[in-house]
Amino acid sequence: MKKIITLLLLFTISSTSFAQCWENVSAGTLHTLGLMDNGSLWAWGYNAAGELGIGNNIDQNTPVRVGTDNDWSIISAGGEFSMALKSNGTLWAWGNNRYGELGDGTLIAKNIPQQVGTDTDWEFISAGFASSYAIKTDGTLWTWGQNQRGQLGLGNLTDRLFPVQVGTATDWETISCGTSHVLAKKTDGTLWSCGYNMFGQLGLNMTFDRATFQQIGTDTDWDFISAGGNHSVAVKTSSVMYTWGINIYGQLGDNTTNMSMVPVEIMDQVVVAEAGFSHTSAILSTNDLYVWGQNNYGQLGLGNTNNQYVPTAVTTLSDPVKLVNGNRFSLYMDADSYLYVTGYNQYGQLGDGTNANKSSFINISCSTLSTGEVAANSSIKLYPNPVRDELNIAQETAMQSVVIYNNLGQEVLTRTIGENQVRIDVSQLAAGLYHARVSSESGVQTLRFVKQ
């Protein structure tokens, strides 16, 4: 005889989340891509042009899986389009295609990933506002899409609908796209730029646009580069960080609002740095995160909306390993692959299940999303779904425990069961997506359910 147990939930939110699985993230203008450690691809935020790649044009405020493939390896979110590489070296793109940024020879937008050509030797990608950049395993650089400011580096202002090789050099190593300007680094440690230059963001001590790549100075010890909206960031092998370009919001971090046409030294001990649209972040060798620049939507994660003109420590986080800055929003990953987000969220680009802006970093869990629904032939049943008042979970063998998590990966309930059926009162839960993790002698299974 099955025993029915009614559990009254005690809604004390725990700050402990279970194991995370984000491997990489990329922020576009208003959307975000996430790569899991199992090779699956997820997307959320603005989707008017199909840049999420999920087969529709509906905005999403929680991560949604892109297809079913598990062989994605590198991701890059652009203005209103996205790019990604698979582990077999193929290149894929989707979203807006107004300027040919998808590289498929058309100007037609796509809302699911489309392969770019048939080559299998792509190694590195970077999506700009409406321009695309990729490096092959042989060190050649290829560009396509919008070229209004010469940002493709081809010596002209003609948009391109297919990938076109830039010159004949075979020593390109990495590239980073801003709104309409580009930074690139070669294997010899030299730094190069091209495109829009009204604010000196090319670092050439001038303000004329350049339609071919120009070397910035003569130094050969550049290590890390990042192009923002109209400013640039680079770090040398000595861990010294430099910034240049527009500075109206203090995004250069030199305690002024004066633009700079040449690289300006800002701080040392920098491991990695990231330029957003009008703000900047850096991780130091001390494992501290520093932020500065525009903060009107809380994108600096300091708990306020005050602009910062010098690097300012974020004291609420620890062990940062990766930074990603979008257009007025920011993402950060720690050593345990936890993902934290803050800033502008009108289109759900933070992925927290709301469209409310945040001025402090909050956690976005992915492990609940990766489990998916249990198989149709599974012995475990969860009903009704969606649920309003009472949730039933049943299976043929006795359950050892049921743990319920909210969509942030936070534990809201833990119960030891010892029975094969349980009825749970969920009437006090806020509406939204939840996950029930059921443990038994036969293993652990996670089921999603929606609380109405």
pLDDT at residue 375, as a whole number: 35
**First CA to last CA distance, the chain:** 31
pLDDT at residue 409, as a whole number: 60
According to DSSP, the residues that pair with 124 across neighbouring strands are: 135
Angle at 144 between CA 217 and CA 182, to 5 degrees: 25
pLDDT, one tens digit per residue, over 149-204 is 999 999 999 999 999 999 999 999 999 999 999 999 999 999 999 999 999 999 99
pLDDT, one tens digit per residue, over 321-374 is 889 999 999 999 887 778 999 999 999 999 988 999 999 998 886 544 533 333
What CATH code would you report for 6-13+370-451? 2.60.40.3080
| pLDDT confidence bin for 5, thresholds 50/70/90 | very low
Query: How many CB atoms sit inside 10 A of residue 77's CB?
Result: 28
- Alpha carbon distances (Å) from 406 to 17, 117, 152: 10, 41, 44
According to DSSP, the residues that pair with 193 across neighbouring strands are: 183, 214
**If you average pLDDT over residues 293-303, what whole number do you get?**
97
- Give 334's Cβ-side CA count (13 Å radius): 19
What CATH code would you report for 22-366? 2.130.10.30
Write down the residue that tokens 């790019």 correspond to.
83
pLDDT, one tens digit per residue, over 222-278 is 999 999 999 999 999 999 999 999 999 999 999 999 999 999 999 999 999 999 999
What whole-number distance in Å separates Cα of residue 45 and Cα of residue 355? Answer: 9
**If you average pLDDT over residues 18-44, what whole number do you get?**
87
- Alpha carbon distances (Å) from 263 to 169, 219, 258: 25, 12, 13
pLDDT at residue 234, as a whole number: 98
Domain boundaries, the chain: 6-13+370-451, 22-366
Query: In 327-342, which positions are buried (b, 16+ CB within 10 angstroms) versus exposed (e)?
Result: bbbbbbbbeebbbbbb
